Amino acid sequence: MSSSDEEDMADDCLILHRIEQNDATFTVLQIGGGPSSNEEEIFDSARPIQREFYDQSAYSRLGECIASNTHLKILYVNMTGGYKLTTADRGFYNGLIRNSSIEELTINFNRLRPFVGGEIHAIFNAYQANSSHLTKIQLSNVGMQHQDGGDHIINTTFGCCTNLQEIAINNCNLADEHLLPLVETIIGHRMLNCLNLTSNMIGNEGCEVLATLLNDPNSNLQSVYLYNNRIKSAGAITLANSLTSNTKLDTLFLAENPIDSNSIQDAFCNLLCNASSINETYASNHTLNAICRLWGGPLEPFVQLNTGSNKSHVAIKKILHCHPNMNMEPLYEWDAKGEQTLKALPYVIDWFKRAEEALAGGTIIPTAINSTNEDHSIVSDDNKDDGSASIESEDDADNEDTYVLDGEDTNNSSVDSDGDDDANSDLGDGDSSGEEEKSHQDRVVSDNEDTAGMYNISVRKLSAIFQFSLAMPLLFEGIARFDTNDSSSTDNKRKRK
């Protein structure tokens, strides 16, 4: 045996010793050849050691050490290089069954080796027997189309690992037909928050299967990575439609797919901000804030808004932006008998108060949001005209001295302290340069800036009250004439209907 071989075996003995001694600093174990940040962590690397100098007792001892170790967190099995683990090393697999500290299992497979009946099959069998501590499984380079029965082994293992938080199946030729059994297996995993299916063969039919997972009200997925697959525009739209009621997913990675971004903008814009009505805007998706492949254009401002942690404020901002003219008529008959009442008015006034809070200092204002109506027609023509309201006095009606809530002033310009129109205000198009230029993604309104004024909150609130007054003049007249100092006020209150 050469001196280099002796050094290599000495390294393996050192690893065994550290694991056996339960070294608190030894948390990552790599088996097999390949790159590592620390070569001392590689057991049985791709070294030119003859098998007769490396008997099977080494793996049995490793299994015994792993079984009692409480500090190992990550097990990485690299099968791309030379290694000496075989299915006959039962001591090693028994050690995995008895271990309770390993949380992450990463396997880099060699497509030339058999999956079924091989070493990875034996490792998966071990975790089918004991998997309560496992939170992540990452599997790479398994040629699913060449591994008959391999998907069944994988799905069975995933089904046993009910505490998984992350599943990654990368570059494994995972196709549409493999997705249905996979999704059926993991749809009940309440801990799962990340699904990474990068570099596979998933197409539009696979997106329909994934949509059932995303549409599951019990799903807690926060991130789905579908980079470098075969998804086309129809598949992307299917995913968008499945997220209508999803309040958990914040990241959808669709880059490097044959998707026409322009053809799916409408579907995702409608998902994040359905402007057909105030109720639909309120019920839009306020969670999804990272859609790789679709950044920019009309979608950008709503993606930015969704980064806000207070989703109630996010919804309020979208409503203010998309519905400058708020029709109060549906709230007039807020009564079981269908009679017009003022019951809704206090809630309306309170809503505008919360709108002021949502637009308070420190609020992120997307620069593109103000040109959305004009340039991208996020708000339909019907919405622009439906329920429009104005405030005007009877004396000045002929002079057309009115405040019309059409959003033109708030969207296109503002008036500075000197009364001059400022076309490059903080709600402008974001094309200013020099020292005043700010990032188009992180523009922040300081505490002393009147963002509520920019959206004409006060005028909109007065408009809402005025609409009530026009619809129910007798009720408002009674309130105006009510004398709190009159001893007979109590009787008047009782008589007033």
Please tell me the least confidently modeled range out of 23-27, 139-143, 230-234: 139-143
Q: Pairing state of beta strands 414-415 and 421-422? A: antiparallel
Instruction: Write the Ramachandran bin of 161: left for phi over 0, alpha for psi from -120 to 50, otherwise beta.
Output: beta
pLDDT band at 55 (very low <50, low <70, confident <90, very high): low
- Mean pLDDT on 142-146: 74
- Give the DSSP H or E segment for 384: helix 381-385
Between CA 109 and CA 124 the distance in angstroms is 13
CATH 3.80.10.10 range(s) for the chain read 3-310
- Mean pLDDT on 287-311: 85
Structure confidence by residue, pLDDT tens digits, 381-423: 333 333 333 223 333 333 333 222 233 333 333 323 333 433 3
pLDDT value, residue 35: 52
Q: Is the pLDDT of residue 264 over 60?
A: yes
Structure confidence by residue, pLDDT tens digits, 170-214: 999 999 999 999 999 999 899 999 999 999 999 999 999 999 999
- Mean pLDDT on 303-325: 92
Residues contacting 385, CB < 8 A, separation 6+: 325
Tell me the fold of 3-310: 3.80.10
Mean pLDDT (the chain) is: 76
Q: Is the pLDDT of residue 257 over 60?
A: yes
What DSSP designation does 163 have? T
Between CA 31 and CA 85 the distance in angstroms is 9
Give the percent of the chain with pLDDT over 90. Answer: 47
Instruction: Write the Ramachandran bin of 173: left for phi over 0, alpha for psi from -120 to 50, otherwise beta.
Output: left
Can you give the C-alpha Rg of the chain in angstroms? 32
pLDDT value, residue 495: 46
Please tell me the least confidently modeled range out of 148-152, 156-160, 355-359, 464-468: 148-152
